[in-house]
């Protein structure tokens, strides 16, 4: 939606085809119903919400059924969707991305496939599936989609290399990384209202904000908190929902951790307030080769808010952290290193301030979402022109043939 808002402000007509909001618990947000078709306008964007089989993130098969029903609903809805020049589909899960192919063929439009997760590799990495005939089939289908799309947009350089290795033409793969809306994430480090409302205003607050899922190994945070129970000046804040949240809440209670506050998923609009009330942002994933290819978007939000980062992710994310000079890298899943990094920042406020200032400058120079959306728009316009050329050639050939016949 972030790119769509910017494209709409630039004067383009954008239609977003999605489902009724229900992530991550699989429960409808207030004011919504799971209907075959419903329309609404958000910031000038035409939003079409289709029926899907709702499911939480906790059950892989039911969640897959949710995505598959979205694929079917989008396919059947295609003839009734507004006129367009290009179809863009995104793939947090494969069938969402694949819906773009069917819609583009029905509408006779070019197709741009955006890859936000390497699927099925991501579900193998978290243990939701094991290698076998089904995974092999899904890998073949993914490779086919990379070769078939008019353009593939990858979120990282590592994604791009993987997509090309799967058979995509290099010239058709473009890297447009995540970014942040700098008009929304505006730092007010003196504003501690969020921290005050949760009784941690006078403490050093280490926050994890985001999905509590199988990919994140968040017991690392609880184990680090246990190591720091004697530090009354340090508190850990965990904000979000997901498949692992209930287990983590129970684990926190069994460990009797009074220095950990766990909050349910919060509206995105208050994320700047959460980061304003935080002294460091924790960005954590499991130790797995696949996660060397990703860059979590929460890194950009933290940088925009002048919030230093403790990063438990290897590969491209760590390279970014080092280049930007925005925080401390630790070994993924290491609670000892996490506790040590939190302690070092709590004991040296000037270090955190330096990391925050460097992050703010870096994100403005490289990851301003407006600039990234403009680059994306240039790519879409290029694809639209290319798609029109065969039609123009056919029309000219037709006219030429008729002129010859007339002579």
CATH of domain 193-355: 3.40.50.2000
Instruction: Compute how many other C-beta atoms are within 10 angstroms of the C-beta atom of residue 118.
Output: 24
Alpha-carbon distance of 201 to 191, in angstroms, equals 10
Instruction: Compute how many other C-beta atoms are within 10 angstroms of the C-beta atom of residue 128.
Output: 17
**pTM, two decimal places:** 0.86
Alpha-carbon distance of 42 to 45, in angstroms, equals 5
- How do 111-115 and 45-50 pair as beta strands? unpaired
**pLDDT by residue, tens only, the chain of 407 residues:** 789 999 999 999 999 999 998 877 778 888 899 999 999 999 999 999 999 988 766 566 677 787 889 999 999 999 999 999 999 999 877 788 899 999 999 999 999 999 988 876 776 776 666 777 877 788 898 899 999 999 999 999 999 999 999 999 999 999 999 999 999 999 987 777 888 898 998 999 999 999 998 889 999 999 999 999 999 999 999 999 888 999 999 999 999 999 999 999 888 889 999 999 999 999 999 999 989 999 999 999 999 999 999 999 999 999 999 999 999 999 999 999 999 999 999 999 999 999 999 999 999 999 999 999 999 999 999 999 998 875 544 543 444 334 333 33
Instruction: Compute how many other C-beta atoms are within 10 angstroms of the C-beta atom of residue 381.
Output: 13
Strand arrangement, sheet containing 173-175: 87-91, 111-115, 151-154, 173-175
Helix (H, G, I), strand (E, B) or coil at 90: strand
- Domain 2-179+368-398 is of which CATH architecture? 3-Layer(aba) Sandwich (3.40)
Spell out where 74-170 has E strands: 87-91, 111-115, 151-154
Alpha-carbon distance of 228 to 335, in angstroms, equals 10
Residues 294-343 pLDDT 10s: 999 999 999 999 999 999 999 999 999 999 999 999 999 999 999 999 99
Residues 126-170 pLDDT 10s: 666 677 787 778 889 889 999 999 999 999 999 999 999 999 999
**Residue 83 gets which letter from DSSP?**
P
- All structural domains of the chain with their residue ranges: 2-179+368-398, 193-355
List the structure tokens of 202.
């006078």
The answer to whether 2-179+368-398 and 193-355 have equal CATH topology is yes
Peptide bond into 24 cis (omega under 30): yes
Alpha-carbon distance of 71 to 91, in angstroms, equals 11
Sign of CA dihedral 72, 73, 78, 84: negative
Q: Which of 180, 139, 172 is nearest to 153 (CA)?
A: 172
């Amino acid at each position: 939606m972030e790119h769509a808002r910017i494209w709409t402000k630039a004067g383009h007509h954008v239609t977003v085809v999605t489902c009724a909001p229900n992530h991550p618990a699989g429960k409808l947000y207030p004011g919504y119903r799971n209907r075959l078709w419903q329309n609404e306008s958000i910031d000038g964007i035409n939003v079409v919400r289709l029926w899907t089989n709702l499911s939480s993130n906790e059950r892989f098969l039911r969640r897959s059924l949710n995505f598959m029903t979205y694929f079917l609903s989008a396919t059947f809805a295609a003839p009734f969707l507004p006129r367009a020049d290009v179809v863009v589909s995104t793939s947090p899960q494969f069938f969402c991305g694949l819906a773009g192919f069917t819609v583009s063929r029905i509408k006779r439009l070019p197709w741009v496939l955006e890859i936000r997760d390497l699927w099925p590799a991501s579900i193998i990495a978290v243990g939701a599936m094991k290698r076998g005939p089904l995974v092999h089939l899904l890998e073949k289908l993914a490779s086919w989609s990379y070769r078939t799309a008019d353009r593939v947009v990858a979120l990282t350089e590592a994604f791009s290399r993987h997509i090309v290795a799967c058979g995509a033409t290099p010239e058709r793969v473009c890297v447009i990384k995540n970014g942040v809306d700098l008009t929304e994430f505006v730092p007010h480090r003196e504003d501690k209202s969020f921290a005050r409302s949760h009784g941690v205003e006078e403490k050093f607050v280490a926050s994890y904000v985001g999905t509590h899922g199988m990919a994140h190994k968040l017991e690392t945070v609880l184990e680090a908190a246990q190591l720091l129970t004697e530090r009354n000046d340090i508190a850990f804040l965990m904000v979000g929902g997901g498949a692992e949240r209930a287990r983590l809440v129970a684990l926190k209670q069994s460990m009797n951790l009074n220095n950990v506050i766990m909050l349910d998923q919060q509206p995105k609009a208050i994320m700047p307030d959460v980061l304003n009330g935080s002294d460091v942002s924790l960005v954590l994933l499991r130790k797995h080769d696949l996660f060397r290819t990703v860059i979590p978007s929460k890194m950009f939000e933290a940088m925009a808010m002048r919030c230093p980062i403790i990063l438990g992710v290897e590969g491209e994310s760590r390279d970014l952290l080092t280049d930007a000079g925005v925080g401390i890298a630790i070994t993924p899943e290491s609670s000892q290193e996490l506790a040590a990094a939190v302690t070092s920042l709590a004991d040296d406020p000037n270090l955190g301030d330096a990391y925050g200032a460097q992050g703010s400058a870096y994100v403005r120079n490289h990851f301003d979402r407006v600039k990234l959306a403009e680059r994306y728009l240039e790519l879409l316009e290029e694809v639209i022109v290319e798609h029109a050329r065969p039609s123009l050639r056919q029309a000219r050939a037709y006219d030429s043939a008729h002129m010859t016949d007339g002579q």
